[in-house]
Amino acid sequence: MRQKVTVVGAGNVGATTAQRIFDKGYADVTLVDIVEGLPQGKALDILESGPILGSDAKIIGSNTYEETANSDVVVVTSGIARKPGMSRDDLLLTNMKIVTSVIEETSKYSPNSIHIIVTNPLDAMAQQALKISGHAPQKIVGMAGILDTSRYRTFLAEELNVSVDSVAAYVLGGHGDTMVPVIESTNVAGTPISQLIEPTRLEEIVQRARDGGAEIVNYLKTGSAYYAPSASIVQMVEAILFDKKEILPCTAYLNGEYGINGLYVGVPVKLGSEGAEEIIELKLNDQELSALQKSADSVKELVDIMQKA
């Protein structure tokens, strides 16, 4: 029997994620949205591509949650997206309400699932999902690090005119603005990045990756990125469904690791069928450690605002 993935939010990120999973054919998909007809129409359209792509997976759309029951993975993308001039934090209270109502349903219908939180600001939304679901912290993870790392690797590969496959990198911390690239672990086929790109140019590349989401929002004007985000989500879905135990940068609940307690922050995680099975503690230099702490502080600020709301 195929495994089951629910994607909540049939907008740009959600529908593209559902499509990518369907195309690969290894899981059935339930697409949920609050807008009547939207998930049903998109799901049917995707389903009708099956004979061409050779996918026998099932995909259905729904405005309610009964059909999501017993999902192995639930991806939460429902919420509002950024417009030019908005920061991810501007979405906080609106998306908090949306994520709360969604998690009440998904955690009830799929108590054993792993939730991947994508709705921004996602570190704070993961914290909210944990609170509402009552699930174990390792069963709730956020998607950001893979995307930030992918943007960073894209620009490094372009700069050096090498394959993206040859560039290894890790980005930790919050999504975007407070992301922390680990320079020590960035290398091209084993050669440290510091030997290949001079520091001021490297900082420019880091900054472009940091602003990667805003760069796209400024082009699109009416929404935010979704092709690279959905590809990042699918990498996490596959690590979980296939119990790959892949080490990926994800937003996970820290219990003292990196000196941070009780908060969701982007760190390398061993991702498998139990969710965030292990937090990997990289050796960071003082500057990286304090940048990670700053990232955690900004998540804490958002969590405090949510608690007072």
User: Which one, of 276, 292, 296, 283, lies nearest residue 185 by Cα?
Assistant: 283
Torsion angle, alpha carbons of 279, 122, 145, 76, to 10? 90
Residue 305 Cβ, how far from ligand APR at the closest point, in Å?
16
Closest CA to 227 of 5, 16, 9: 16
Q: Which of 118, 214, 260, 267 binds ligand APR (CB under 6 A)?
A: 118
If one asks whether residue 94 binds ligand APR (CB under 6 A), the answer comes out as no
Instruction: Return the number of the residue (13 or 206) whose C-beta is nearest ligand APR.
Output: 13
Residue 236 Cα to chain centre, angstroms: 8
Half-sphere exposure of 43 (CA within 13 A, CB side): 23
Among 5, 102, 179, 234, binds ligand APR (CB under 6 A): 102
**Window 3 to 32, contacts with ligand APR (CB under 6 A):** 8-14, 32
**Which candidate in 4, 88, 175, 270 is catalytic?**
175
Q: Which residues contact 32 (CB under 8 A, 6 or more apart)?
A: 6, 7, 8, 9, 10, 39, 61, 62, 63, 64, 65, 67, 68, 78
Q: Is 226 in the site for ligand APR (CB under 6 A)?
A: yes
Which amino acid, residue 30? T
Which one of 51-59, 221-229, 233-241, 270-278 is the stretch in contact with ligand APR (CB under 6 A)? 221-229
Active site residue 115: no
Which one among 229, 249, 268, 272 touches ligand APR, defined by CB under 6 A?
229
- C-alpha 309: how far from its chain's center? 25
Catalogue the active-site residues: 175
Chain residues binding ligand APR by CB under 6 A are 8-14, 32-35, 38, 77-79, 81-82, 91, 95, 98, 101-102, 118-120, 223-224, 226, 229
